[in-house]
Amino acid sequence: MSALTFTLKHKPNQRVDMSPLVCNQLIDMDLEAIASITLQSGKCKLRVDEIFTIEGSDTQNIVIKNSIDTLDFIGKDLIGGSISVIGDAGAYLAFGLNAGEIKVTGDVGLYAACEMKKGYLEVSGNAGDFLGAALPGNKMGMKGGTILIKGNVGARAGDHMRRGNILIEGNAGEYCGSRMTAGTIAVMGDTGRHLGYAMRRGTLLLWNNPILSASFNDCGAHTLAFLPILFASFKSLNSRFSDSSISFNRVQRYSGDMSEIGRGEVLVKL
């Protein structure tokens, strides 16, 4: 059985809500039924076959080819199976991801993996602002699973994050880990200003020295026993994080944000 493949025919005039095209909603549907699904695009509703050519039959293994940054909500509330995006993805990629795997070869827009619960998201390019964050007004961001970004991420990555891992091979923008309640964000590159702003708990694991605000206190240099276990859990990833030569257990520990409850930590490689 070959993967169910949607190939974009042309660039739509408006942004497209791709949320109906997830594995769990396509179970037992034939190509004709899938083609007749309507997708919201601006004020219009478009049939799937108006903008995509459809091939394959494995609804639990979806491929979106020629994808562009106006295709929003790809993999929304996915509860199993896999989605591969060849190209870029728009906003709200993997929104509320519950289980399963989403991989993107290009860049992704705002709010990727926002309020994600479980599963795995891998982005080979860059990610926009509010990666793994909560929707505006909501108090709980990412609650579990793993996000791997091979490029850079925008501002507010992990805002209100509650559990899970965000792994960033590149740089992170301003306010990385802001208002975090728990979880781990690892950044191999540089981090922007206001790192861990108002974070309550959680871990920011850094390879490079950050610019920390005065509300983070230096707790000294330490060898932490949980770090080898954490790095070992990355072994199966297709990432620089799986390379044992990059792992470490000796860190400078800063606690904060002291303007909040201050139980969060920034661990910087020594």
Partner 1 sequence: MIINGVSIDATFAEAFPMKATRAIITAQNEKWALISAQAMTGFATSVIACGCEGSIERVLAPSETPDGRPGVSVMIFAMGGKGLAKQLETRAGQCVLTSPTAALFAGIDGGIRIPLGKNLRYFGDGFQVSKQISGKRYWRIPVMDGEFLAEATTGQVDAIGGGNFLVLAESQPQALAACEAAIEEMRKIPNVIMPFPGGVVRSGSKVGSKYKTLGASTNDAFCPTLKGMTKTELSPEIESVMEIVIDGLSKEDIEKAMRVGIQAVCDLGAQNGIKRISAGNYGGKLGPFHFHLQEIMA
203 near partner 1, rule: CB under 8 A = yes
Dihedral pair phi/psi, residue 47, rounded to 5°: -70, 150
Distance of CA 70 to the CA centre of its chain: 17
232 near partner 1, rule: CB under 8 A = yes
State how far the Cα of 179 lies from the Cα of 51, in Å rounded to an integer.
40
223 near partner 1, rule: CB under 8 A = yes
Q: Can you tell me which of 59, 67, 126, 184 binds partner 1, judged by CB under 8 A?
A: 184
Q: Can you tell me which of 226, 250, 258, 259 binds partner 1, judged by CB under 8 A?
A: 226
Contacts 24+ apart (CB under 8 A), 99-107: 100/23, 100/75, 102/74, 102/75, 102/78, 104/67, 106/67, 107/69, 107/151
80 near partner 1, rule: CB under 8 A = no
Q: Under rule CB under 8 A, how many of the chain's residues touch partner 1?
A: 18
CB contact set of 150 (below 8 Å; sequence gap of 6+): 122, 123, 124, 125, 169, 170, 239
Burial class (CB in 10 A: 0-12, 13-18, 19+), 172: buried
Minimal distance, residue 161 CB to partner 1, in Å: 13
98 near partner 1, rule: CB under 8 A = no
Q: What does the block give as tokens for 105?
A: 């070869």
Distance of CA 47 to the CA centre of its chain: 28
Q: What does the block give as tokens for 202?
A: 């959680």
Minimal distance, residue 226 CB to partner 1, in Å: 5
Minimal distance, residue 235 CB to partner 1, in Å: 10
Q: Can you tell me which of 228, 239, 248, 269 binds partner 1, judged by CB under 8 A?
A: 228
152 near partner 1, rule: CB under 8 A = no
182 near partner 1, rule: CB under 8 A = yes
Q: Can you tell me which of 222, 240, 248, 252 binds partner 1, judged by CB under 8 A?
A: 222
Query: Would you say 109 or 132 has its CB closer to partner 1?
Result: 132
The single residue listed with the structure tokens 């992990």 is 158
Q: Can you tell me which of 35, 68, 99, 224 binds partner 1, judged by CB under 8 A?
A: 224
State how far the Cα of 89 lies from the Cα of 107, in Å rounded to an integer.
6
Minimal distance, residue 120 CB to partner 1, in Å: 12
For binding to partner 1 (CB under 8 A), which residues are involved?
144, 163, 182, 184, 201, 203, 222-226, 228-230, 232-233, 263, 265
